[in-house]
A and B are shown apart, each in its own frame.
Chain A
Amino acid sequence: MNRRAELIGWVLAASLAWIVAYPILIVVRDATHASTITAFVRRPSEWQVLWASIWISLASVALAAAVGVPLAFLFTRVAFPGSRMLGALIALPAVLPPLVGVIAFLFLYGESGFVARGMQALLGLDHSPWHLQGAGAILLVHAYSMYVYFYLLTRAGLARIDGSMIEAAQALGASRWTTLRRVTLPLLRPALAGAALLTFMTALGSFSAPYVFGGGFRVMPTQIVASKLNGDIPRAMVETVALALVALVALGLLRRSEGEDVLVALGKGTAPPPRVLVGSRGLVTTAAWLLAVFLLLPHLTLLLISLVPYATWTTETLPPVLTLDNYRRLFAESDRLEPLVNSLWMAAVATAGALVIALLAGWLTVRRRVRPRRLIEHFVALPWALPGTVFALALATAFSVSRPLALRWVLVGTAAILPLAYFVRSLPLAGRAVLAGYRQLDPALEEAAAILGAGRWRVLWRVTVPLLRPSLAAGASLAFVTALGDFVTSIVLYTYNTRPISIEILSSLRLNELGIAAAFGVLLMVVSGAALLVGSGGHVRS
């Protein structure tokens, strides 16, 4: 039985190597031609783009921290009417597909968005007061959507800090400020480093925001796709490798700064209860509500735009007609329905695959502790460490030729390539959740089932799967939402027949069918939200 597990372990490791690592290696090999590398190094624009990717990501970390950390303190340490609900609500943007956030932003702050129109009317201008484009616009969108990482991880970190440590500092005569600086923040370091890592990696791989708002300003992910669409494949390869290298270096550096978790492990108590405000209660409550509305405004805008029928809103500040026409068209016109169906089935297949592999990986690495367990864990985690563009390019390269001896088949252009790409991108999310669940599952429970006469499948279905259900549901919903809202791999790999929602949103925008685009966005939002709600077992994470 042990030998069989070892065998399965090696088979899984080899399969993952083929699907996760092999395409990347092919890109690296194809990119390492002296001429292409020299061309890359000598082209100043490449360095500009690479540098833009790096500084945009660093600035996104700083901005997201500036918004997220104070919010976390506010909602953890202060209680006011509605603070629990608001605290959960403002975590929403992180779990929604980036493209949805981006178009919502466009409708709100874009040059023909509500705010611009309002300002125009207010100031009596004959054109939009601003032009939402370039680095500033990208940063704004990043800060707006990525503060949630800092917000959620800081809240989790604060919840783990033993309240008695704060009290101990104060009993020793430390002021509030000193306590924060000398006790709370050092204890939060792992959480903050984790949030910084997450934000940096997300910003580095971010495609939707630069694609929609970048204009002439390019970052590496948009540059790669542009090179690819221009047919300059060798250039796209080198750019892909450069981006992957930046990602890996950043990951290595930030991992190191995350440090040991001992600090937090020491404190095992409970967090201090939130302070109930007395004097400034009304002020804080109002401010917090306003802030929450401000943060959620783009998504409300999306909802509103989705109710505006085609060509009914021209120069008015507010749309004059609101109907459900766009939604009706979405379901009535088979051309519109197709992307919806495509996205749903492809995301479902990818999620199911990711879950099965995650479960198998959990059993092999945690339970059987097979020899290639580190290998399996690395391969499962790898797609997270590399931007989506890198994987899109890698899969497009690896599976566009038929060389069965090199284990390469033509999948690009078939219905298989997008589910495969989604699967690869979902794997780390499902894997992390399921592996964590497996590690917390007492092996004695499975042993108890076995000694009570249950065979391997009965143990799996009656004990392991039911007990892992929270992890499986969390992993599945994250994987599903990621696949459903995917834009960056889709734009490289889609065909007309397999076009997903994100591509349809983009083409609707191009045709100026804003209402349809918004309706798709709302659908994505609703389905993602529902999936995550199911995934968290009915509780919104707070």
Chain B
Amino acid sequence: MNAYLRTEELSKRFGATVALERFSIAIERGEILALLGPSGSGKTTTLRLLAGFETPDAGRIWLDGEDITGLPPARRRSGMVFQHYALFPHLDVGENVAFGLGGSGKEEGGSMAQRVRGALELVQLAGFERRKVQELSGGQQQRVALARALAPEPRVLLLDEPLSNLDPALRERTRRELRHVIKRVGITSVLVTHEQEEAFDLGDRVAVLRDGRLEQLGTADELYERPRTLFVATFVGRANVLRGGIARALGGKPGDVVVVRPERLRFAAQGLAGVVRERRYTGAAAFYSVEAHGDGAAAPVAQSTLRIEVQASPDAAAIGDTVHLQASGVLAFPDDRGTPAA
């Protein structure tokens, strides 16, 4: 394996809690890897281990062929964008960006000032050098944080939920700009997020973590279309999780848990019967909440109030309609709960 950044069976405990368990991953040069998982899954711990803020209990970290496991953060030549940006409030924008260049940021002209300017140009904030960081908007602060991290030309860029502090309207645009800047610089990056959309949009590949373990690593398509575990299937994208009779009615084998995405269900002349209880209109499509009842199924339905989410055209059904559902692209997993097939 000749990956640029590689972790080798990293483990970390905090007291009795296992934060990370034998976590191995390899990231290619110039690749953006997104670490996706719920809180407590170990993604932030991974990032802090990569940054050097924590030392692993076991395992190694390799960067460009060098073992950096024991190296303090200051000597790793990494850049980091913090969740709340961590801009130094007592320094202005220019001084913040110059911090990693070893300068004070006050130099006029000269190579230092040029590098500061270059970094700010990258995030379209040239000319903001003497602004106070508190005067900037959230989006501008985020960009200064990115410029500051990139200015010393680090080997790796680490991003800790870089968009979580922005309001939703701004988030999508900033996400595109962020990816654009990172790709232009060509820097190897690791991003932590708990939002699937963010991970899919920003990451070349996505690593899904759960309870300190790597659940699956792959491209967005792979994770969505071919999830390896039930957890990945439900954590990534919207999913109906079905068991028992209903699962079999939609094509599952006995003993399987079946996961069906809302857009893979359609109303048909026959199939699993149910009644439309809610309709949520989103413009291009509508989401229907269908209460499935046992009619048409091979056996009585175990979960009496099971609702199934269906995505269909806005005029496909109305509330109160009795409908029949058919599924394509059903994902089946062995039932870890061991629900007896009814």
Residues of A within 8 A of B (CB): 1-2, 442, 444-445, 447-455, 462-463, 466-467, 469
Contacts and interface: CB of A to CB of B under 8 A. Distances in A.
Interface string B66-80: 000000111111111
Given A442-B86, A447-B51, A451-B52, A1 B100 contact: no
A462 B82 contact: no
Contacts of B55: 2
A454 B99 contact: yes
Given A447-B82, A449-B99, A466 B90 contact: yes
Given A453-B74, A453-B77, A453-B152, A448 B86 contact: yes
Given A444-B83, A447-B82, A448-B80, A455 B74 contact: yes
A285 B332 CA distance: 80
Closest 7 CB pairs of A and B: A452-B100, A444-B86, A448-B86, A450-B73, A451-B73, A444-B82, A466-B90
A363 to B, nearest CB: 15
A469 B88 CA distance: 13
Interface residues of B, number: 28
Interface in B148-167: 148-149, 152, 158
Contacts of A447: 51, 53, 73, 80, 82, 86
B152 A444 contact: no
Nearest to B158: A451
A452 B52 contact: no
A445 B76 CA distance: 17
B47 to A, nearest CB: 11
Interface centre among A442, A448, A450 (most CB of B within 10 A): A448
27 contacts: A1-B72, A2-B55, A442-B86, A444-B86, A445-B88, A447-B53, A447-B73, A447-B80, A447-B86, A448-B87, A448-B148, A449-B88, A449-B99, A450-B53, A450-B72, A451-B53, A451-B74, A451-B79, A452-B74, A452-B79, A452-B148, A453-B74, A453-B75, A463-B88, A467-B88, A467-B89, A467-B90
B338 interface: no
B78 to A, nearest CB: 6
Contacts of B90: 466-467, 469
B22 interface: no
B109 interface: no
Contacts of B228: none
B84 interface: yes
A169 B152 CA distance: 57
B74 A450 contact: yes
A447 B74 CA distance: 9
Interface string B88-125: 11100000000110100000000000000000000000
A444 B78 CA distance: 15
A442 to B, nearest CB: 6
Nearest to B81: A448
Interface string B121-156: 000000000000000000000000000110010000
A334 B213 CA distance: 76
B99 A451 contact: no
